Amino acid sequence: MQVAIIGAGSFGTVLADIAAHNQCQVMMYARRPEMVHAINAFHRNPQYHPDLQLHASITASSDLAEVVRGADLVLLSVPSRAMDAICQALAKVLAPDVALLSTTKGIQSEGFQLMSQIIGQRLPSHPVGVLSGPNLAHEIATRHLTASVVASQSPQVRQLARNAFATKYFRLYSSEDLISVELGGALKNIYAIAAGLADGLGVGQNTKALLITRALAEMSRLSAHMGGNPLSFLGLAGVGDLYVTSVSPLSRNFRIGQALAQGHSLESAESNLGQVAEGVNTLRVVYEQCQRDDIAMPILTALYEVIFGGKPVRQTALQMMQAAHTSDVEFLMPGANPAL
Residues designated catalytic:
188
Residue 230, SS3 per DSSP: helix
Residues 6+ apart with CB under 8 A from 294: none
In three-state form (DSSP H/G/I as H, E/B as E, the rest C), the secondary structure along 266-302 is HHHHHHHHCCCCHHHHHHHHHHHHHHHHCCCCHHHHH
Terminus-to-terminus CA distance in the chain, angstroms? 51
Strand order across the beta sheet in which 59-61 lies: 59-61, 25-29, 2-6, 73-76, 99-102, 128-132, 146-152, 170-175
Residues 51 and 43 sit within 8 Å (Cβ to Cβ): no
What radius of gyration do the chain's Cα atoms show? 20
Task: List Cα–Cα distances, 51 to 44, 47, 55, 278, in angstroms.
Answer: 8, 10, 13, 25
Q: Strand 107-108 relative to strand 113-114: parallel, antiparallel, unpaired? A: antiparallel
Give how far Cα 158 sits from Cα of 175, 179, 291, Å. 9, 16, 35
Alpha-carbon separation of residue 149 from 70, 95, 131, 225, 298 (angstroms): 26, 26, 6, 22, 28
User: Quick one: angle between helices 178-200 and 205-225, nearest 10?
Assistant: 150
Contact (CB, 8 A) for 317 and 298: no
Cα 74 versus chain centre, distance? 17
Q: Which residues pair with 55 in a beta bridge?
A: none
**C-alpha closest to that of 58 among 93, 12, 115:** 12
Q: Say if residues 312 and 263 touch (Cβ distance below 8 Å).
A: no
